[in-house]
Amino acid sequence: MTDARYDRAPGDISISAEAKERTLSDVGIYTIGLALAVILTATSFWVANTSLLWAPGIPLGLVVLAIAQMGVHLVFFLHITTGPDNTNNVLALAFGVLIVTIVVAGSLWIMTNLNDNMMLPAKLMNLHMQH
C-alpha cells in the first residue's frame, strides 16, 4: 500500500489495490478502446455516405459520433476516470472543453448573425444599387 494519497498522472493506468482485482488486463483496456473507436469511425463514414437517413440530421449525428469517440479515447487511451485521484485532470479537461465550446459555438453564432444582418432585403438592395 502506498503511504500517501496522490493524484494520478494523466495517461497512467491505475496501480491502486482495487485495480489489481479487476478482471481486465491493461492490454484488454486498450483493445476495447480500439474496438469501440473502430466501430464509431466506421459508423461515421457510413452515416456520411448513406442515403437511408434523414439528410438534415446527418451533421448532428456525425457530431454525436465524434463526441462519443472522444469519450472513448479519453477513457480507454488517456485513462481519465471519475476517481478521486483524477479530480485535477478532469477539472483541467472540463475547463478546456468549456473554452473550446465558447470559441467554436461563439464564432459560429456571431458570424451567422453578422451574415444575416449584412444581407439586405432584395427591395432595399435594389434601391441601394440605383444610387
Partner 1 sequence: MNIAVAVDDVRREALPSASEAGPAPKRIVVAYGFWIFLLSDIVMFSALFAAYAVLVRATAGVPAGAQLFNQVSVAIETACLLVSTYTCGMMSLAVNARRRAATYFFAVVTFVLGAAFLYLEVREFADMIARGATPQRSAFLSAFFTLVGCHGLHVAAGLAWLAVMMAQVAVRGFRASVERRLLCFALFWHALDIVWVWLFTVVYLMGVRP
Site for partner 1 in 50-89 (CB under 8 A): 55, 58-59, 62-63, 65-66, 69-70, 73-74, 77-78, 88-89
CB of 127 to partner 1, least distance (A): 27
C-alpha–C-alpha distance, residues 25 and 102, integer Å: 38
Instruction: Give the residue with the Cβ less far from partner 1, 71 or 127.
Output: 71
Q: Which of 98, 102, 45 is nearest to 69 (CA)?
A: 45
Q: Is 120 helix (H, G, I), strand (E, B) or coil?
A: coil
Confirm or reject binding of residue 28 to partner 1 (CB under 8 A): no
Confirm or reject binding of residue 8 to partner 1 (CB under 8 A): yes
Instruction: Give the residue with the Cβ less far from partner 1, 77 or 81.
Output: 77
